[in-house]
Amino acid sequence: MRIALLTEGGYPYPGGDSVVWCDRLVRGLGGHEFEVYALGRGERQREGAWPPLPDNVRRVRTAPLWGPAPGAAGRRDGRREGRRGGYGRRARRRFGEHFAELVAAVCAEPGDEGAAPQADRFAGGLHGLADLARDHGGLPAALRSEQAVRLLESACRAPGALRAVRAAAPVDLLTVTEQFERLLRPLSADWYDERGLAAVDVCHAVGGGPAALPGLLARRLFGTPLLVTEYGVRLREHYLTSAAHAVAPDAVGAPVRALLASFHARLAHEAYRRAELITPGNTHVRRWQVRCGADRDRLRTVYPGMDASPFAGIEEDGGQERPEPLLVWVGRIEPAKDLVCLLHAFAEVRRTVPGARLLIAERADGPGPAPGRDPEAQAYLAHCRALAAQLFPDEAADLHGVGDNPVCFARIGDPEVPRLSDAYAAADVAVLSSVVEGFPVPLVEAMLSGRATVSTDVGAVCEAIGGTGLVVPPRNPRALAAACTALLGDPARRARLGAAARARALELFTTEQNLTAFRGIYLELLSHRPETDEPLAGTRPFSHPPEAHLPGRWASTTGRGAADAGPGGRSVRGPSWAHTTSGGTAVPVGAPAGPPRERR
């Protein structure tokens, strides 16, 4: 089976979203062929900037969602092209009609459906622009033209538009059209032919954002089934990023944020509405998808698979109390992980358990080399180190000893923590202090290691632990400290919770469970796909009916023979060739095979 894996800012680039899960999926389903259609988000995600891929990845095709539009540098007469969009009169009229439909749906109030549902207007404009891009070689110039800006301005000023967009200034309109051009670049890609998405059996989109655009077009053009998998809701991520940028010194205006949020919401709704099947990674994601318009009947929860082998050799907690118990936190150091709360909570723990220590182990996901920290993460790490030095001055055992801080910052792979499993093996209690979390991967790793956990109630934490750990409210250092102290003072309880956590993780969150689920889903989607009369149809699985392999006069084995066969195996579309007796002679179905036999 040939599967198109549609990603945005993730696989095959190292350090991107869902890169670990995608890599396990591709390597685990070695009997299938994968083609990766990747959308890059930044400078580091360039063509070819990925580690070696498995042999069953036949091809990787990329399209950047950053930087100048492809081919913009080689265009001539840029001023005229910027005004007219690079099209002739008829093409500009077509662009105006379709883009006006798209932005009218984006600018409309969510509850104002009008004469035609806004979802249908958005879909009509989107597919109309895709047809225009295939006929005229792309959309970038048109989307950055003066015509696009004027159409967007008219939609913002129209009755029933969002309140936040009515006062959009020219600079806001220019910013939004530039963003639309980047987000809609998949419509202009040369992926929609027999050498691309027309030849695949299933389109698997990792997210309901721009990554789903190629899948939507392939479904409309070729009838290719679309599968959408989300372990973190792309729309929710956009809302959180937009809220964080709203307070930045160089923040864009409220009209820009409102228009982009509305576009992402409309796109997610269209992806959920058209997908044959949607596989959320947990109930938290499932609730978001239902609120965004997903049909409950097409939702099927599939937990992300974790490789349990690195943690299999870790012995379970023996229930023994140690003089220097260790709390371990593992993850990416960023503000959403709320290490400030963890450090203040650890200060409370030290008052009750003076010998307690804390290990903060930074990890870098992905099959390739660890990416460098971005400036925001670097600044947050420096702030956390300074806070730890302030809360815990270096302690010495006597007047002549050397001070030692009870908080250790390390990175997985450093001499202090050579492997990820070493961090969990040394832990008495694993801690998760996040204020924002999708599926808690470090928490499941701690469960696989047989360690008791203390977590904040965010994202899918409660669903993951299922009663095998302690949960406290986020941003509450006192509650976090009380839970950690309770487990450190009760070794027998730690041992019971750790054993139950490991049993639950092995039952629900292993790679084998995930691969089995998707192997069955791929076959299910392919078996429900209607056959076509295209030449590619004869090479697809299930295109030959089972009776074609038996001797006798049966329906045609090509095209739609099985579906068109009438009573007695005769084709209702006229003569077609089929296998007959063991002599190997082919006769047309419906033709006389010999003298009639006498009935008895």
- 329-347 confidence digits (pLDDT tens): 999 999 989 999 999 999 9
Query: What is the pLDDT at residue 51?
Result: 85
The whole-number pLDDT of residue 556 equals 46
Of 16-20, 349-353, 595-599, the least confident: 595-599
> Is 147's pLDDT higher than 90?
yes
* Choice between 561 and 237, residue whose per-residue pLDDT is larger: 237
Query: 348: helix, coil or strand?
Result: helix
Encode pLDDT of 490-526 as tens digits.
999 999 999 999 999 999 999 999 999 999 999 999 9
Q: What share of the chain is helix, strand, coil (3-state, %, to 5)?
A: 45, 15, 40
Quote the tokens at residue 486.
């309770």
- Bridge partners (DSSP) listed for residue 417: 414
**Nearest of 215, 315, 319 to residue 267 by alpha carbon:** 215
Predicted confidence at residue 16, as pLDDT, reads 62
**Residue 387: which pLDDT band, with cuts at 50, 70 and 90?**
very high
Domain spans in the chain, listed from the N-terminal domain onward: 2-67+191-298, 75-180, 309-509, 545-600
Query: Per-residue pLDDT tens for 212-263?
Result: 999 999 999 999 999 999 987 777 777 777 665 655 555 678 899 999 999 9
Residue 17: pLDDT band with limits 50, 70, 90: low
- Spatial CB neighbours of 453, under 8 Å, sequence gap ≥ 6: 429, 430, 431, 432, 443, 446, 447, 465, 468, 469, 470, 497, 501
Task: Give yes or no on whether 2-67+191-298 and 309-509 have one common fold.
Answer: yes
Residue with tokens 């997210």: 207
Measured CA to CA in angstroms, residue 443 lies from 81, 128, 306, 307, 411 at distances of 53, 45, 11, 14, 18
Please indicate whether residue 167 or residue 371 has the higher confidence score (pLDDT).
Answer: 167
55-99 pLDDT, tens per residue? 999 999 999 888 887 665 444 444 444 444 567 889 999 999 999
pLDDT over 70, % of the chain? 78
pTM above 0.85, yes or no: no
Which of 162-176, 242-256, 507-521, 576-590 has the weakest average pLDDT?
576-590
In DSSP terms, 431 is beta-bridged to 454
Residue 270 sits at the vertex; the CA angle it makes with 529 and 304, to the nearest 5 degrees, is: 70
Diameter of the chain by CA atoms?
115
Tally of CB atoms within 10 A around 283: 12
Give the pLDDT confidence score for residue 78 in this predicted structure: 43
Of the two residues 240 and 478, the one the predictor is more confident about is: 478
Mean pLDDT calculated for residue range 9-27: 84
Please tell me the distance from the alpha carbon of residue 40 to that of residue 62, in angstroms, as a whole number: 7
Q: What's the confidence (pLDDT) of residue 114?
A: 46
Quick one: pLDDT band at residue 544, thresholds 50, 70, 90? low
**Residue 308 scores a pLDDT above 60:** yes
* CA 279 vs CA 69, 110, 157, 285, 306: distances in Å: 33, 25, 38, 9, 17
Q: Give the per-residue pLDDT at 469.
A: 96
Q: In terms of residues, how long is the chain?
A: 600
Pairing label, strands 57-64, 33-40 = parallel
- For residue 52, what is the DSSP state? -
Residue 279: enclosing H or E segment and its boundaries? Answer: strand 277-280
Q: CA geometry: angle at 142 spanning 141 and 148, to 5°?
A: 130
Token pair in block for residue 135: 């006929």
**pLDDT single digits (tens) 403-460:** 578 999 999 998 889 999 999 999 999 999 999 888 899 999 999 999 999 999 998 9
**How far, in Å, CA of 45 to CA of 36, rounded?**
14
CATH topology (fold) of 309-509:
Rossmann fold (3.40.50)
Please tell us whether the domain made up of 2-67+191-298 is placed in CATH 3.40.50.2000: yes
297-324 mean pLDDT:
87
Q: pLDDT band for position 583 (50/70/90)?
A: very low
Question: Helix or strand or coil: residue 322?
Answer: coil
Band the pLDDT of 393: cuts 50, 70, 90: confident
Distance CA 568, CA 204 (A): 39
Helix ranges (H only) for 331-419 are 339-352, 375-391
Distance CA 134, CA 531 (A): 25
- What b/e string do you get for 61-98 counting C-beta neighbours within 10 Å, with b at 16 or more? bbbbbeeebeeeeeeeeeeebeebbbbeeebbebbbeb
Token pair, residue 106, equals 């984006």
- The DSSP symbol for 413 reads T
- Asked if residue 270 lies in contact with residue 126, where contact means CB atoms within 8 angstroms, the answer is yes
Q: Are strands 357-362 and 226-230 parallel, antiparallel or unpaired?
A: unpaired
Closest CA to 557 of 572, 539, 567, 543: 543
> In this predicted model, what pLDDT tens digit does every residue of 191-210 receive, in sequence order?
999 999 999 999 999 988 89
- Residue 540 confidence (pLDDT): 55
Range list of β-strands (E), 414-519: 429-432, 452-456, 470-472
Helix then strand count (H, E) for the chain reads: 20, 14
Cis bond upstream, residue 12 (ω within 30): yes
pLDDT at position 278 over 60: yes
Q: Output the average pLDDT for the chain.
A: 83
**471 has a pLDDT exceeding 80:** yes
